[in-house]
Structure formats: structure tokens, C-alpha cells
Structure 1
Amino acid sequence: MQRSINNAYSTSIETSRIAQPIGTALDRFIKNHQDQFAFASGELSQLLRDIALASKVVNREVNKAGLIDIMGAAGSTNNTGDQQQKLDVLANIRFTRALMKGGEVCALVSEESESYVDLNNEGKYVIAIDPLDGSSNIDVNVSIGTIFSIYRRKSIAGMPIQEEDILQKGSDQVAAGYILYGSSTMLVYTTGHGVNGFTYEPSLGEYFLSHPDMQMPADGKIYSINEGSANSFEKPVKDYIQHCKDNNYTARYIGSLVADFHRNLLKGGIYIYPATAKDPQGKLRLMYECNALAFIAEQAGGKASSGKARILDLEPRHLHERTPFYVGSKNMVTKAESF
């Protein structure tokens, strides 16, 4: 009798789980909201789908990294001096192929390429991407991510790519986002009308809306910085870190920019990568790391600064330009600037 009751209860629970709605699929969400973009004619929507498709392939490779020989260093360095990991190279190939075949992108700026890649002179968009941020963490099964910025080209389609197409300010972005490969895989993006997050459902092979209209708390109690470099911080940075400690803030630093940013987006906090003696201009790249996350932060009610100026107002002088980076809850970033 008891076994029958238990079976009936289990069946009821399982039925209720099956009946739960999954949510809005990414493709449908993009289609329903493409009219928010002033120049909407389908290409931007398709470009976002291409990025989502490439991320699914990279997600598959990341998930089997321990089973095949794609972990560890590739034995080379990229143009910014960072040691390339095998997955860096793989992710760069996957995203480049997806964007090339899509036809919407005329030029690609990647952390893994010294110059921009000319994909299609008829394309209307330029994309700047860090294919796999924090990839050294893959060896120890820590979250990593992809960061992307999308710009509308300024020259006439069909003409050779111009410098004005490539070196655009962050405020010129038409869309930006990131993919977080963690305990679950998420795609978070904005087209300038708020921030929405989508979680990957692997059995269906689709992203579903899980975090609509994401808002970053105006204040937080988390600060993220590599304190191992504290001796080379400038005094104002040291003073702000001491302020955090005096107010019993929690230190959380993963070493994967996307993962640290995502946590602070949800819970409130500040991420800091300041200028140091080793990297006087900062270490993070403006074009394909800072601009994208700054755009997302502002659209979610947060703030992003170089410590002296708004990130999105900075004029890039070359593809791999670096900048100090303060991003997160608005009041926390403002307080850090005051130091």
C-alpha cells in the first residue's frame, strides 16, 4: 500500500516537472524583438544566431576537454603576449568559421589575431571578440567565457574595409554579449534595450530565456581584484581596497573575467583590473573585453570606468589597446573613482 502511494506521489512530481514551461527560445526572442533596432533588416538577428551556434560547438568541446587532448598550452603566444591555450585556437576557429559562413560580418577583430580578418566586404557589421576568455582555467574545470562586441560598419558595403570601420568607440556598439561556460552555459546579450540572459538546454540544443531584463544592484558587498599584485597598485587603488576591507566586503576573484562579471551582475559588486607596474596601461583589452562588458553593465544599471573616464567614451587607437577597468554596481564604481 505504502509503495503504491510512493509511486503515485513520484509519478505526480515527475508529471509536474514535465509540465513546467521551458521558456522562450533564443531564436523566437530575437525575432520578436528585432524591430527594436533602428536598422533592422534581419542581418543582426542572423548574426546573433551565428554566435549562438558557434557557442554551442565551443560548449561541446569544453565539456569533453578532459577526454581528448585539447587541454593545456598550444605552445605559442598571441599578439598581446598571452600564452595561447589549445582551446583558444579552437574557439577562434569555430567563431571565425561561423561568422564567415553567415555573411553578415565584413571584419573580425579577435584577441587571437594580430590584425583584423576580412570576412566579407558586403557585410554590414564588424565584430570584436575574445573567443575564450580565461581559457587557462579549463585545466582545473573553472568557468570560462566568450565576449563579443558588434558594430555597424561606417563605410559603404562592398568597398574595402576602412580604419573607421574597425576602430570605433564602445558607445557605437549596436550589440554586445558574453557566453559563460560554467555549471550551466549561459548567453547574455544586449542590443541597447536592456539585458537578457539565456540558459542552454543541452538535450534540446537550444538557449531559453531564463533571466529577463537583468538588473545589476546599485550597491554590493563583493570586490574582485587580483590582490597578488597589490604591491604594484597605485595608492588610490590600495586605498579603495582598504575601504572595501574596512566595510567588511567579501573578496571574490575567479580569474575568469566573464565569471567574475556575471556574479557581480547578479549579486552586486565591483570588478577591478587596475594599472600596475607590469602593465601601466592595464591588461584588459578595450575593443573585445572592456567595451562589451561596459555596454552590458550600463544597460543593466551599472557603470564602467577606466578610473578616470567612461569606458564607452574611450577612442581606440589600435586593435589591441589596453585600459584599466572598473566595472560593476554603479555606486561602487563611483566610489572607486572618487579615490
Structure 2
Amino acid sequence: MKTLRQYLDGTACEKQLKDLIELIAYQSIPIRDAFIDNQSYAGTENTYGEEQAALDKWADTHIISVLGKSGFVKEIASEEQPDIVRFPDAEGDYAVVMDPLDGSSLIQVNLAVGTIVGIYRGGNALQKGEDLAVAMYMLYGPMTVLTITVGNGVFTFALNSEETFVLLKENIQIPEGKLFGSGGIRNEWLSGHHDFISLCEQNGGKLRYSGSFVADFHQILTYGGVYCYPAAQGKPEGKLRLVFEGNPIGFIAKQAGGAISDGTQDLLTVIPTKPDHRTPIYVGSKNVIESVESCMKKQ
């Protein structure tokens, strides 16, 4: 079976970028090994006022340390850090954006969580999503799975018993499916979002929502449909972050024939104004995202 490195060697990626991708991908092994000893909450909050799981902090510190020592990366924007972490003496000229542990509230109940990563050339972390060189996520479920695009299709790899990523699926396309899931408090949804969810239900949609963006999107990638975290009353900017979550996942969706929107525009065309750039997110099958934007225009 083709390994991750064999796949990368068949792409147009430069050697240093291939090495960086592999370095990040294989951090899934120590992160997964750290689950048992990092079950609790850390008693601290991240810069956004959200309670941190112990593994949030562990994964964040671990990945930043590994990337800093590598010399590949000039900047890291992490969901767990208030500011961009800079390595001005790095030989490489890449910037990494990441949510080191997405869905960490699910650790104690042993549901799937993941790591979301985007890589930019040019050493600047605050770029448009459409300018990503690489988008990837590691999903820690029954298998440890890596889903990746280098701008030429979407591929999924699974970690085997020899701790090597081997090809599982290639050239993935999101079908026009009927799964849907929405975050937020229902009685705080805006009218356009209410209308869209009602439309999903009327069309025979099936609700799927776990609280892990990575895990829920992986279902959409496989079966089709839409993942949503909308704007709400008093929270027009929504909850999720464009830089760490929206852009990498959206880039993968678009490479798989899908789309991502804030309800009115393609999120991949938005220039982030700061690391904590929040946005409503709708991501999934292309025709479903078109339905979202149609509903939003009416509210």
C-alpha cells in the first residue's frame, strides 16, 4: 500500500514542505499516547475564555516545541495561544495555523476528536484560505486517520500497526448527501438559519452532531450534507475561528468538490483581520451550501 511519503513524493511539493507535512502528521502518535494521562480539565482558560482540557495544553505545547525545533516554520497561529508564535531565525519560510485538539470536551467520554492544521508558504499565518499550500487533519477515532490536500485533490491515510500512514482513499469527492448538524442554542438562531434547518428536515435530512468539528466534518466528507455553526442573536460573528478551523476544513471541502460559506460569501476569500477572527460556518456539499446562502438572503 502507498505510504504518505510515497504519495507526497508524487506531488509537486518541495522537499521541505513534504518533510513538514510528515513531521506534523506523525505527531498524532504522541498525541494519541497522551490521552490516558490527560483526561481532566486543566483549570485554565484559553485566550477566548474557553476552559482548556489538559490535552489541549499538552498538544499545543508539544506541537509548537516540535515545529520550533524543526527550523521549518516562521510563524504558528494556534487556537490555544493569544498571539502568533514567531521563529524569526527559522530556515524555512512556512506558517502553520492549527487547532491542536478540536473537540476536547469529548475526551472524557471517548468520542472522536482531532487536530486541524493549515500550512502557508511565505511565513505569514494571516492569509486567505484559498492561498493555503496544505490543509490536513488527524482524526483520533477507532483508527487514526489523516485527511490531506496539497491543492490537488483530497486523500485519506490510516495509521497502521507499524505506525506508518498508508493510503485509505484517494481523490475523495463530497456527495450531495442529507446529513446535517448545527451548533449553537436553537432559540438563539437567526431566522435564516431556522429556515435552512427546517428545509433540511423537510428534505429528509438526518441529524449528525457530536461537538467535534473534525469528526462531524469527516462524516460530511464521506456521506455528504452540511456542518453548521451559525451566527446567533447577539453573536453575529458566530463561535468558530476562520484561521484555525474554517480555512483548513474549507480548503479540504473545496478540493473535494464542496464549499464553505459564512452564509453570504465564500470563506476562503476572506482575509483574516486577527488570529481570533470568528465567523459563522457552513461547510459541505456544494448544492447544500447554495441552499444556505439562499435562505440567508431572505432573513
* 1:117, distance to aligned residue in structure 2 (A): 0.8
RMSD: 1.2
What corresponds to 1:24 in structure 2?
2
Match of 1:221 in 2: 178
Q: Does 1:212 align with 2:170?
A: yes
Q: What pairs up with 1:68-147 in 2 under 5 angstroms?
A: 68=37, 70-121=38-89, 122-147=91-116
1:45 partnered with 2:18: yes
Alignment TM-score, normalising by the size of structure 2: 0.95
Contact 1:100–1:120 (8 Å) recurs in 2 = no
Of 315, 319, 326, the match for 2:282: 326
Partner of 2:219: 263
Secondary structure class of the residue paired with 1:166: coil
Equivalent residue runs for 1:185-264 within 5 Å: 185-201=144-160, 203-217=161-175, 219-226=176-183, 229-264=185-220
Partners in 2 of 1:123 and 1:282 — Cα distance? Answer: 34
In structure 2, C-alpha distance between the alignment counterparts of 1:278 and 1:135, rounded to whole Å: 26
Which whole-Å deviations, capped at 9, do the CAs of 1:140-163 have from their partners, x for residues lacking one? 000000001111116xxxxxxxxx
1:194 partner letter = G
Tell me if structure 2 keeps the 8 A contact 1:148–1:292: yes
The offset of 1:264, in angstroms, is 0.6
Q: Which amino acid aligns with 2:133?
A: V
- How far apart are 1:95 and its partner, in Å? 1.0
Contact preservation (8 Å) 1:274, 1:326: yes
Deviation at 1:248, TM superposition (A): 1.7
Deviation, 1:167, is 1.8
Counterpart-to-counterpart distance in 1, 2:224 and 2:180: 9
Unpaired stretches in structure 2, ≥5 consecutive residues:
none
Cα distance between partner residues in 2 of 1:178 and 1:309: 24
Distance in 1, Cα, partners of 2:33 & 2:257: 33
* Cα distance in structure 2, aligned partners of 1:118 and 1:314: 23
Write out aligned runs for 1:157-176 (5 A).
165-176=124-135
Distance in 1, matches of 2:266 and 2:6, equals 34
The corresponding residue for 2:27 is 54
Secondary structure of the corresponding residue to residue 337 of structure 1 = helix
Aligned 8 A contact 1:200 1:206 in 2: yes
1:159 aligns with: none
Q: Work out the percentage of aligned pairs sharing the same amino acid.
A: 39
Match of 2:258 in 1: 302
Measured in 1, the distance between the counterparts of 2:253 and 2:67 equals 25
* Matched residues, number: 294
Code of the residue aligned with 2:140 in structure 1: it is Y
Q: How much has 1:120 moved relative to structure 2? A: 4.4
Residues 72, 136 of structure 1: 8 Å contact kept:
no
Could you say which structure has the larger radius of gyration? 1
Structure 1 contact 103–120 (Cα < 8 Å) conserved: no
Structure 1 gaps of 5+ residues are 1-22, 155-164
**SS of the residue 2:185 aligns to:** helix
Task: Output the CA distance in 2 between the equivalents of 1:241 and 1:255.
Answer: 17
How far apart, CA to CA, are the structure 2 residues paired with 1:267 and 1:167? 31
Moved beyond 3 Å, runs of 4+: none
What amino acid maps onto 1:214 in structure 2? I
> Per the alignment, in what secondary structure is the counterpart of residue 261 of structure 1?
helix
The CA distance in 2 between the partners of 1:80 and 1:48, in whole Å, is 28
Partners of 1:255 and 1:273 in 2: CA distance: 10
Q: Deviations over 1:197-237 (max 9, x none)?
A: 00011x201110101111111x11111113x6111111010
Classify the secondary structure of the residue corresponding to 2:99.
Answer: strand
Q: Residue 182 of structure 1: which of 141, 144, 147 is its match? A: 141
